[in-house]
Amino acid sequence: MELAKLQRLGRSGSLDIALGIPPGDPPAAVVEAAVSALRKGRHQYADTAGLSELRAVIAADALRTHGVVVDPDTEITVTVGATEALLTALLTVTDPGDEVLLFEPYFELYPGIVELAGAVPRFVRLEAPDWRLTEEALTRVLSPRTRAVVLNTPHNPTGRVFDAQELDLLMNLCQERGIACVTDEVYDCTVFDGRRHLSPLAMPGARPTSVIVGSLSKKAQMTGWRIGYCIADPEMTEVLRRIHEHTTVGTNHPLQSGASALKASDVLDGRALFQDRRDELVAGLSSLGFTVRPPEGGWFVFAGTEALGWPARTLSRRLAESAGVLVAPGSPFFQRPEDGDRWIRTTFVRGAETTRAALDRIAAFLAAEAPPSG
C-alpha cells in the first residue's frame, strides 16, 4: 500500500493529514459499558445477528438519519466493521463470475472485496471536476452479467454526496435490470452546506434489492472496535445472516455490549465538528495552487496537483521525506495508477491545529522546491 510506504518514509513528528482516523474517543459511558460487560462475564458467543440491544440502537439511528422504520429483529445484521458488511453483502447478492459496478475513483478496498467474493469489478468512471454519476458512463459498462453495484455516499475520496437525480437514475436502472445495490454509507453523519444524505433505504421501490452498509467506526469514533452493520429487507437479511455466520460467527460480545450504550447525542455530528475545518483546508489548498472542489460530505478533500506541475506520487513522497507531511497519493483510488497521479487525498478531521501546521509546511515546501522537469 502506497501510504504505508510513505509512513515509513515520513520523519518522526510528521503531520498525518492522509488517514481518516477519528479525532476523539468513544463516549466514556460506552467505554465503561464495555468494561462492565467484560467484568460481568460476557465472554461467550453473542447472538450471531448481533446483540438485540445494539440492533435497536442502529434502528434508532436509521430512523433519525433517514426517517425510515427498520425492524431490528429481521432487517439488521451486526458485522465486523463495514469491511465485513461489504464482503457479506457482495457474497449475498452475487454468484461467482458476476460483474459488479464500482465508481472510479473508489475506496481502495473495493476491487479486492469484489474479487474475494468471486465476482468481477467493472469500473464506471466519474469525471472531474464534478464527479457526477451519468447515464452514459453507467450504460457504457453494463452487461448481461452485471449483478450488483457498490455506491459509496458520502464518497471517499471525492467528497460527493450523490443527489436525488443521480440516485433515481441508478435505482431505476437497478430495478429495470434486476441489479442489487450495495450502498456504503459509513460517512452518513458528515454532510456539509445544509445538504441531505440520501439513501436507497428511504426509496421504497429500491429497498428490496438494496443492502445498506454502515459502521460505528466513524460515527461513534471507534474504528478499532470493528462494529458495522447491514440493513436489508427480511428476505435478503436471512441470506446475509447465513453468510455472516459462516464467515465470522458474529462480532465480539463485550464491545457490542459497550456500543449498545450509545445514545443519539453520542453520534458524531460531522457537520458541526468539521464544516469550518473543511472550509479552512479547502481555502488553504486552493491558495497554494491545488485544484479543489469543496467536498459535499465525508472526511476528505481530493485535491488536484496538475496546476502545480507536480505528479501526485512524487509530491506525496517529497512531502513525507522533506516537509514531514503525510498526504495520500491518488493512485490507489484508480485502476491505472497513472490516472490517480494528478490527485492527493487529504483529511480535515485531524484537528484545526494539525491542518494549519500541515498547510504551513506544504507552503514552505512548495516555495522551496521546484517540481521535477518534464
Ligand X SMILES: Cc1ncc(COP(=O)(O)O)c(C=O)c1O
Nearer to ligand X, 2 or 366 (CB): 2
According to CB under 6 A, which one of 184, 188, 296, 341 is a site residue for ligand X?
184
Beta carbon of residue 85, minimum distance to ligand X (angstroms, whole number): 7
Nearer to ligand X, 65 or 156 (CB): 156
* CB 75, CB 56: distance < 8 Å: no
CA separation for the pair 27, 265 (Å, rounded): 10
* CB 33, CB 19: distance < 8 Å: no
Beta carbon of residue 105, minimum distance to ligand X (angstroms, whole number): 11
Site string for ligand X, 294-333 (x = CB under 6 A): ----------------------------------------
Nearer to ligand X, 218 or 361 (CB): 218
Closest CA to 268 of 220, 201, 313: 220
CA separation for the pair 117, 97 (Å, rounded): 9
Q: Dihedral angle at the C-alpha atoms of 329, 104, 200, 251, nearest 10 degrees? A: -50
**Other Cβ atoms within 10 Å of 221 Cβ, number:** 21
Nearer to ligand X, 115 or 235 (CB): 115
Beta carbon of residue 143, minimum distance to ligand X (angstroms, whole number): 25
* CB 80, CB 250: distance < 8 Å: no
Q: Does 223 bind ligand X (CB under 6 A)?
A: yes
CA separation for the pair 326, 303 (Å, rounded): 14
* 78: enclosing H helix or E strand: strand 76-79
66-85 residues near ligand X, rule: CB under 6 A: 81-83
14-33 residues near ligand X, rule: CB under 6 A: 20
According to CB under 6 A, which one of 27, 72, 200, 228 is a site residue for ligand X?
228
Region for residue 198 given its phi and psi (left: phi exceeds 0; alpha: psi -120 to 50; beta: otherwise): beta
Nearer to ligand X, 113 or 303 (CB): 113
Nearer to ligand X, 156 or 221 (CB): 156
Q: Does 215 bind ligand X (CB under 6 A)?
A: yes
Q: Catalog residues that contact ligand X under the rule CB under 6 A.
A: 20, 81-83, 107, 152, 156, 184, 186, 215, 217, 223, 228
